[in-house]
Structure 1
Amino acid sequence: MTNPRLCVFPLKPEEAEQYMRIRHQVFSTTTFHNVLYAQGEPSQKTLDRVTSEIRDRLVQGIHYLKCVDTSTSEMIAGASWHYLRAQEEGAKERPWEEVDAELIVPEPYDESDPEMYKSLFTLLNTNKRKILGNRPYYALNTMVTLPNHERRGAGNMLVRWGCDRADEAGVPAYVEASLMGAPMYARHGFQRVKQVEFDLSKWGGKGVMSITLMLRPAKCE
């Protein structure tokens, strides 16, 4: 059931830092955080870079969303959805050069172990290419909820937003889910395609990152 006190809105550029703070707080307890910042906690320079990247992606047309508790006006959750489709209007398939141009490894942060960082994103990109090929699709890149606002329905609302857009476009949706998040995505029609493990100890780190690759079929499929 939808919580009437919660509403989803597009993120404004001036709210990028607030989104970054929520993202950082949520990620700070995850194995993913240990990959991004394997050599120490991020500096203010790095956090400023993340904020700038969010603003840049908004300009590029990537959908950043915020979930707000309207009774307090507090941003309690956020998500990033990206619609990947051919640049040519009306094309049903993406040229492979466009696909490969999207599947690049981001620049590591100052606190990253460059080889560990590159290895994770190469693993994810390789699987994404195999699973999705040159089809257009919606990708859920990030979904974060402040710990003290979990189980209020914010995550479901943010996931539903992207699923509805994917259905309207007649394309699948894709997410690289944590073990904790996978059951929620399954309730929205995402199906497990593959489980991948990323062992940080190969680079002197701690922990194994388990990622469930999930695909929600297009409405017409």
Structure 2
Amino acid sequence: MANPQLEVSLLKPEEAEEFMRIRHEVFRPTINKILYSRGEPSQKTLDRVTEEIRDGIVNKGILYLKCVDKSTGEMIAGARWRYAKPKEDRARERTWEEVEAGFTVPEPYDESEPELFRHLFHLLNTNKRELLETRPYYTLITCAVLPQHERRGAGSMLVKWGCDRADEAGVEAYLEASLMGVPMYERHGFRPVKRIELDMKKFGAEENAPFVVMIRPAKEQPADPSTAA
């Protein structure tokens, strides 16, 4: 059951910096060590991330969400969903050209190890290509809850929002989870399909970074009476 004190809605472009701050704080001990492996990101880099979020909202149709505590007005969590769908409205699958166009790799940040940065995106893109092929899907790219607001249901509400949209569209939902995140995603119907590892040892780390690829099956859509014989 959703927490009545919390509210999920689409992020506004002017809220991009606040979203960035939450994401950066939550992921400092985990994914940030991959993205910014050479050190803490500068203000220049944080400004770039903020602008990327704003551009994603305004120009790229990326679905950024915020979760707000209604009693304080504070943004306590955020998520990033994307709907990979065919350009043609009536098409049931994407073309391979559309698939490949979605696998762009951004330029590394000043604090990135370029080879590691590109290796991460190559690993993630390779698995999407292999497991989803040309099928449309919703993908959860980011889900971040401030530590002091964990266990209030914010993360679950952000996940459910995208799952509901996937069900409405009759498509699968896809994500790469940390090992700790798997149980929560399973409660929303995601199933582990593959474990992958980012080769961090190659870049001097003591251990590799594991992820669990999870897919939530498409909800069967009701038959269209207009197509009945």
The one-character-per-residue Cα deviations of 1:104-142 (angstroms, maximum 9, x if unpaired) are 222111100000111111011001100100000000010
Deviations 1:182-207 (A, max 9, x none): 11000000000100111312012343
Unaligned runs of 5+ in 2: 222-229
Partner of 1:6: 6
Runs of at least 5 residues in structure 1 that lack an aligned partner in the other structure: none
TM-score, normalisation: structure 1: 0.97
- Structural mapping, 1:37-186, within 5 Å: 37-59=36-58, 60-186=60-186
Distance in 2 between residues matched to 1:90 and 1:25, nearest whole Å = 41
Query: Is 1:217 aligned with 2:220?
Result: no
CA RMSD of aligned residues (A): 1.0
Aligned residues: 220
SS in 2 for 1:220: coil
What amino acid is the match of 1:190? F
Does 2:219 correspond to 1:190? no
Q: What is the SS of the residue equivalent to 1:40?
A: coil
Q: Give 1:220 deviation, angstroms.
A: 1.5
Contact 1:38 1:205 in 2 (8 A): no
| Structure whose CA Rg is larger | 2
Q: CA deviation at 1:180?
A: 1.0
Deviations 1:49-80 (A, max 9, x none): 00000001001111100000000000000001
Secondary structure of 1:100's match?
A: helix
Q: Which amino acid aligns with 1:37?
A: Y
SS of corresponding position for 1:66? strand
Find the residue that maps to 1:175 and give its secondary structure: strand
Q: Would you identify which runs of 4 or more consecutive aligned residues in structure 1 move more than 3 Å?
A: none
Q: Distance in 2 between matches of 1:136 and 1:199?
A: 29
- After TM superposition, the score normalised by the length of structure 2 is 0.94
